[in-house]
Structure formats: C-alpha cells, structure tokens
Structure 1
C-alpha cells in the first residue's frame, strides 16, 4: 500500500468542499427542473428567523440559518434536505462502512462525532417543527429514484401565480 506524506494528504483534504458539492448540484438541478424553489445552506427569511428565535430560544440559530445548515430549505413547507457524503456521514453502504485503517485514533472519533452531530441537528429541526430528508451521495447514481423520493417527501411543487 502506498503512503503519502502528511503535507500531500493535507493538500488533498483541503480540496474537499462542504458546500456546492457535485452531489448537491445534481440534486439542485433535478429539483429546479421539476419546479421546486428553495433556499440554500440553511438560510431563513428574516421574519421566520425572528419568530423561531422567540418561540424556541433554547435552539441556536447561528447567522440566520437552521441548525446544521441544510443544503436545501423549503421554508413554506418547513422541510429541509441534506445531501450527505457516504464516507463523511457513515452511511450504511460500502463506502460509508469503510473506515480508514491508519490513524484510527483521529478518524474513528471524527466520524462518530459527525454521526452524533447529524442526530442532534435532526432532533433540533424536529423540535422547531421541520421535517428532514437525507439524500446520500450513492443514491444520486439513480436520479429518477432520488427525484421520486424527494417529490414524495416535498409534495407537489408550488405553482407560480399567474399574471
């Protein structure tokens, strides 16, 4: 097995993005083409943010965003969609079940904490009255199935008002 230097590994890891990833962009294109409109990365309208802060002071809304900064937010429906990478969020698929065999003292706690944070985020969103859907990176291999699941979760898209 080839090993890479710590500097090279750091360089590779720094290129991994948290926003606007390829799986997220695929889902956004699918949903937009199907007629859905959404906000990005947990953003809330100011009026909704203020009412949530008043009604739920125990839940932190940092920077006017929902807990966990969901990738897609459907404010009128109070629904949020996360697009999660299988490895980073320990999905129950071959990629997600595989953990690094080196530096386990770093990786195992990191991946376990990701799972714990995800559970806390979903719990906080449920307490705020929001429903969530997680789309896994591996599921986007079948875009038709993903769109079907998303439509089932979101309901029909709103029709634009006629002018």
Structure 2
C-alpha cells in the first residue's frame, strides 16, 4: 500500500482535463478544506472529488470487490474511508460548498462524464 499514489491519478487527470477544457480554472488539493479535495473551483464554491472505486467502496461497481484474504483489515480500511468521505462531504456542504463525487469507473465513459460535469458546473438557464 505504500506504493499507492494519493494524487495525480489517471482518473483525476481525466477529470481535470475535461473541466479545464470547459474553460474552468481550479486549484488542486486545497489543504485548508476538509479532506483536501481534489479539484476546488473557489469562484463558483464547487468541489469535485475523484474517488477510486476500490478504495472508497463504490456500491454496485465491479471494481469495488473486496479481497478474499485479510478480510478484517480491508473491511476496516474501506469502511473507514467511506465514513471519512461522508463526514468531509457533510462538513463542506455545511460550509456552503457544492460537492460532486466522480468515481474512477465513470472516467471510462467520457461523454457521460462531460454531461455530469456540465450539469454540476454550468448554471441553469
């Protein structure tokens, strides 16, 4: 696990490129916000968090299957991540931020992801 990268993952870079291509500018991993969110659009008070399906327990996703060995460790690890994610999201929303969670499996379908990002980032007409 020590070799697992915490930032600049492929799914995160895909989302960044799409958001940048839409004309938005953003900050990465802002340390003074709960959970150091992946993408922060401060001007719009919006945050995009890119979660790995395995590490954050994406319900119903093939990639979130838990290992059959060392079950107690993995259940504790992943359940802890899920609880921390819920707490961070709630704290951010209480502070007036809008939060969008993008799962790594969603980056495999760019057309659908672009639609999701547009609905979140662009104002209603």
Alpha-carbon deviation of 1:35?
0.8
> CA separation in 1, counterparts of 2:93 and 2:19?
23
Off by >3 Å, runs of 4+ in structure 1: none
* Structure 1 gap ranges (5+): 1-12, 44-62, 157-163
For 2:4, what is the secondary structure of its paired residue?
A: coil
Instruction: State the partner residue of 2:75.
Output: 108
Q: State TM-score, norm by structure 1.
A: 0.72
Instruction: Determine if the alignment matches structure 1 residue 29 to structure 2 residue 17.
Output: yes
Instruction: State the partner residue of 1:137.
Output: 104
Alpha-carbon deviation of 1:147?
1.2
Alpha-carbon deviation of 1:124?
0.4
- Paired residues in the alignment total 122
For 1:76, what is the secondary structure of its paired residue?
A: helix
Q: State TM-score, norm by structure 2.
A: 0.93
Alpha-carbon deviation of 1:14?
2.4
For 1:73, what is the secondary structure of its paired residue?
A: strand
Q: Of the two, which has the highest radius of gyration? A: 1
